[in-house]
Amino acid sequence: MGKTIGVGLIGVGTVGGGVVRLLQDAPCSMRRRTGASLALKRVVVRDLGKPREVPVDASLLTGDAMALIRDPQVQMVVELTGAPQAYEWISEALRAGKDVVTANKALLAERGDELFRLALEKGADLMFEASVAGGIPIIRMLRNGLVANRVESLCGILNGTTNYILTQMTRGAGGYAETLRHAQEKGYAEPDPTLDVSGMDAAQKLAILCRIAFQTTGTAKQIFCEGIEHIEPQDIEYARELGYTIKLLAIAKRRGEEVEARVHPVMVPSEALMANIHDVFNAIEVVGSSVGTQVFYGRGAGQMPTASAVVADMVELAERRNSGAGPAIGDMIIGDEATAIADMRQVELRYYLRALACDRPGVLAQIARVLAEERISIASVIQKERDLQGGTVPLIIVTHEAPEAGMQRALAALGRLDILEGQARVIRIEAL
């Protein structure tokens, strides 16, 4: 009979509760797979007396994470809190030579490099499948399944909250604020949705994927990030008229010796795969040198999909430990060969530009002149009927490819003219 691997679980919230349930429901199948038993030895909770959806033996409960980490019965630490102390807990566990599983994308996106190096130094492993796209095994595919490929690009919907909001707006459910409120009522958006709607959640996930796929060491702060807060129903309608659908995409592409990495709203052709990923679902498209295009689709969040990813990591670690294999963290260590993240200002894209223009002769010519000064050529123009109350005309311009820096300078120049009401809005266009 195989050995027993003691597990210390920090956090029994939504995901932690799902992990406990899976460990309780399928111990035999896990033992057959790994040759070892995974046994909960300690569980850290904030409130020892709180009733729990998934029952946990009261004798295992503690409020002291450091006591759990130092417990000799615990060989594997599973951190599922996202608490400010998570770095301290994980680093302490690794220093003790204990394997760690975490879903903490924010921590890995900012301080992953030092944690991976610490794990290697101490002969421990750090697994993190649940940190990106919940139940979609994208990290395992990039690290193992596609290891024979040079990844050329990846593009994905990595945030279910924003995808739900944009899906509902596309279906005519209301404006941004109203749709966000509905998402919060359904539990699809947090009371403070800033991390999601700003695009930062997706940027943190993209930083992790870029490290694996492109050997970058940049943090989420180095990834260009723009959220969906300024998307309006008229943008949805104009996009439809032009044959596009608006999605918040996380995009990474090789560009020479660098990688462009960006998160922002994108107009994609309505027949494209990404345009047809709806509600809270996630999808990631990876282009590899040998396999071509691969698509991964599923639930990116939720209790059981995320818990499934956590337990998959636990099972892999148990398998490795029982077989005597060493840590698998070596592929996460990047030295002098690190790939730089490209300057967003040099990225060339097509643009949708929407403005409320004064209804008088020569206005379109003035706008065209500003764009021409930045070598931005116009592909098409849509001019709607005059607003009878305001005396302005909705003007839609679609451009050919142009550098981001030039478009930003053009927007600043347009803002200094007296021919527009308010600020011109821009959404980038991807052919996919």
Q: Residue ranges of the chain with pLDDT lower than 50?
A: none
Would you say residue 318 lies in a domain? yes
270 in Cβ contact with 244 (< 8 Å):
yes
Report the amino acid identity of residue 305. Answer: P
Instruction: Clarify whether residues 81 and 164 are in a common domain.
Output: no
Place of tokens 């939720």: 302
Would you say residue 338 lies in a domain? no
Task: Check residue 55 and give its pLDDT.
Answer: 85
Task: Check residue 386 and give its pLDDT.
Answer: 66
Of 50, 48, 60, the closest CA to residue 24 belongs to 60
Task: Check residue 213 and give its pLDDT.
Answer: 96
How many other CB atoms are found less than 10 A from the CB of residue 418? 7
Distance (Å, whole) CA 165 – CA 344: 26
Each as own residue / partner, the long-range contacts of residues 378-386 (CB below 8 Å, 24 or more positions apart, any chain) are: 379/350, 380/242, 382/238, 382/241, 382/242, 386/359
Report the CATH number at residue 56: 3.40.50.720
What is the value of pTM for the model shown? 0.94
Instruction: Clarify whether residues 289 and 318 are in a common domain.
Output: no
- Biggest CA–CA distance in the chain, Å, is 86
Distance (Å, whole) CA 199 – CA 159: 8
Instruction: Clarify whether residues 374 and 317 are in a common domain.
Output: no
Instruction: Clarify whether residues 143 and 292 are in a common domain.
Output: yes
Bridge partners of 356? 394, 421
Instruction: Clarify whether residues 368 and 397 are in a common domain.
Output: yes
Would you say residue 260 lies in a domain? yes
Instruction: Clarify whether residues 293 and 307 are in a common domain.
Output: no
Task: Check residue 32 and give its pLDDT.
Answer: 74
Instruction: Clarify whether residues 264 and 176 are in a common domain.
Output: yes
Instruction: Clarify whether residues 96 and 37 are in a common domain.
Output: yes
Would you say residue 423 lies in a domain? yes
Task: Check residue 390 and give its pLDDT.
Answer: 63
Domain that holds residue 62: 4-134+303-332
Task: Check residue 74 and give its pLDDT.
Answer: 97
Instruction: Clarify whether residues 267 and 162 are in a common domain.
Output: yes
Instruction: Clarify whether residues 99 and 67 are in a common domain.
Output: yes
Report the amino acid identity of residue 349. Answer: L
Would you say residue 339 lies in a domain? no
Instruction: Clarify whether residues 142 and 128 are in a common domain.
Output: no
Which residues are identified as catalytic? Answer: 205
Would you say residue 352 lies in a domain? yes
